[in-house]
């Protein structure tokens, strides 16, 4: 029985990331509600809401609290993630919702605390209250202690996984699942295939720049030329100087690379600069230097036209 109870507790325990996600969803909802509310006064005088902004925000947060925590025992973010608050002070092992006093104190600590912080900041920023230096210093001291308490509570939460905020720890409410979570069997076949494919693709991306595609293409073409049965015609056409052995067009500024074939200057020079071990695609001769075609050959080709 004991191992089974431990398994059920571990499956019903709310993950830390789920509790933090619920807090982030609550903040996003509050920002969305406030932005939609300010859009209603877009056409009015600028700065109309600035004077009463803390009170308006407190009213909106109370409105959200009334229809979320007070009525459903969960915030909007918790409802999305199938989470709700439970009374931690209840002696029963079954689910016990937070009491009415806990809900009211939750509103006081969250809504009232934020309203008090914003309103005090506005008051002490005013020049009429600038003389209350000790009161301002005391408020800053209290706020600093609260921030320190929140930091300590967050560190404990990361270790224990319970009470994500200081308010939850003080009021004795923590997050539980609304419905029991069943253990799901996850198949990793698809993930394994994706990992293998990504690994193979990264290997190809690493390997392809190391392969000299042009040299390999020239090597394959030199092997395939004898099989086509037209080496004599190609060599005769190339040696006659009427065709570049690379681009197949009339050679512009004819040059040779040490063999009987003719190349355009730009074709031979760019291939040689790209690959120092560039070879002739017709005969496989390695390039030692790119030299211009002799003038006698050029004149004979021009006269043949």
Three-state DSSP string of 275-290: CCCCECCCCCCECCCC
Instruction: Please give the Cα distance from 143 to 145 (Å, whole number).
Output: 5
- 162 and 247 together in one domain: no
Instruction: Please give the Cα distance from 286 to 275 (Å, whole number).
Output: 11
Vertex 78: Cα angle to 72 and 84 (nearest 5): 50
pLDDT for the residue 2: 45
Instruction: Please give the Cα distance from 241 to 247 (Å, whole number).
Output: 13
Q: Does residue 32 belong to any structural domain of this protein?
A: yes
Q: Could you tell me which of 187, 196, 200, 171 has the C-alpha nearest to residue 90?
A: 171
- 254 and 164 together in one domain: no
- 163 and 285 together in one domain: no
Q: Does residue 216 belong to any structural domain of this protein?
A: no
Instruction: Please give the Cα distance from 139 to 150 (Å, whole number).
Output: 17
Q: Does residue 91 belong to any structural domain of this protein?
A: yes
pLDDT for the residue 143: 84
Which residues 6+ apart lie within 8 Å of 98 measured at CB?
Answer: 69, 73, 85, 86, 87, 106, 171, 173
Q: Does residue 154 belong to any structural domain of this protein?
A: yes
pLDDT for the residue 90: 80
- 13 and 158 together in one domain: yes
CA 65 to each of CA 76, 107, 111, 156: distance values in angstroms, whole numbers, following the listed order:
10, 7, 9, 26
Q: Does residue 204 belong to any structural domain of this protein?
A: no
**Beta partners for residue 85, in sequence order:** 175
Q: Concatenated DSSP letters for 113-182? A: HHHHHHHHHHHHHSGGGTT-HHHHHHHHHHHHHHHHHHHHHHHHHHHH---SSHHHHHHTEEEEESSPPP
pLDDT for the residue 238: 44
DSSP annotation of 289 reads -
- 157 and 57 together in one domain: yes
pLDDT for the residue 85: 92
Of the residues 124, 143, 177, the one at which a domain ends = 177
Q: Does residue 201 belong to any structural domain of this protein?
A: no
**Beta partners for residue 279, in sequence order:** 286
Q: Which CATH number goes with the domain that contains 290? A: 3.30.40.10
Q: Does residue 192 belong to any structural domain of this protein?
A: no
CA atoms within 13 A on the CB side of 295: 0
Domain limits at 111? 4-177
Of the residues 149, 177, 205, the one at which a domain ends = 177
Q: Could you tell me which of 150, 61, 149 has the C-alpha nearest to residue 106?
A: 61
CA atoms within 13 A on the CB side of 172: 12
Number of neighbouring beta carbons within 10 Å of residue 79? 16
Of the residues 177, 193, 222, the one at which a domain ends = 177
pLDDT for the residue 1: 43
- 112 and 14 together in one domain: yes
- 48 and 145 together in one domain: yes
- 8 and 156 together in one domain: yes
pLDDT for the residue 132: 64
- 162 and 279 together in one domain: no
Instruction: Count structural domains, the chain.
Output: 2
- 151 and 62 together in one domain: yes
- 153 and 16 together in one domain: yes
Q: Does residue 248 belong to any structural domain of this protein?
A: yes
- 60 and 151 together in one domain: yes
List the pLDDT tens digit at each of the 305 positions of the chain.
444 444 444 446 788 998 999 999 999 999 999 999 888 888 888 778 888 888 899 999 999 999 999 999 999 999 888 899 998 888 777 888 899 999 999 999 999 888 888 887 776 666 555 556 677 777 788 888 999 999 999 999 999 988 999 999 999 998 888 877 666 666 778 888 888 999 999 988 888 777 766 667 766 766 665 444 444 444 444 445 677 877 877 777 888 877 778 888 888 787 777 777 777 777 777 777 777 776 544 444 444 44
Number of neighbouring beta carbons within 10 Å of residue 257? 22
């Amino acid at each position: 029985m004991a191992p089974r109870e431990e398994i059920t507790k571990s499956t019903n325990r709310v993950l830390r990331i789920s509790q933090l996600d619920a807090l982030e969803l609550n903040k996003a909802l509050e920002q969305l509600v406030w932005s939609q509310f300010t859009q209603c006064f877009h056409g009015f005088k600028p700065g109309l809401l600035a004077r009463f902004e803390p009170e308006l925000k407190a009213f909106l947060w109370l409105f959200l609290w009334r229809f979320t925590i007070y009525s459903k025992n969960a915030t909007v973010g918790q409802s999305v993630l199938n989470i709700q608050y439970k009374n931690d002070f209840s002696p029963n092992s079954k689910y016990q919702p937070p009491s009415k006093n806990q809900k009211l104190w939750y509103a006081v600590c969250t809504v009232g605390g934020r309203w008090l912080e914003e309103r005090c900041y506005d008051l002490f920023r005013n020049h009429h209250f600038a003389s209350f230096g000790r009161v301002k210093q005391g408020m800053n001291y209290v706020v600093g202690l609260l921030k320190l308490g929140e930091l300590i509570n967050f560190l404990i939460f990361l270790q224990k996984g319970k009470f994500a905020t200081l308010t939850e720890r003080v009021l004795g409410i923590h997050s539980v699942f609304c419905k029991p979570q069943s253990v799901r069997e996850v198949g990793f076949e698809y993930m394994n295939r994706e990992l293998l494919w990504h690994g193979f693709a990264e290997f190809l991306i690493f390997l392809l720049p190391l392969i000299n595609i042009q040299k390999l293409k020239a090597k394959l073409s030199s092997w395939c030329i004898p099989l086509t049965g037209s080496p004599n015609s190609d060599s005769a056409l190339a040696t006659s100087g009427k065709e570049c052995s690379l681009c197949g067009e009339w050679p512009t500024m004819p040059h040779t690379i040490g063999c009987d074939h003719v190349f355009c200057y730009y074709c031979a020079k760019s291939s040689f600069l790209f690959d120092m071990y560039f070879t002739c695609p017709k005969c496989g001769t390695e390039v030692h230097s790119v030299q211009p075609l002799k003038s006698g050959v050029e004149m004979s080709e021009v006269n043949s036209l």
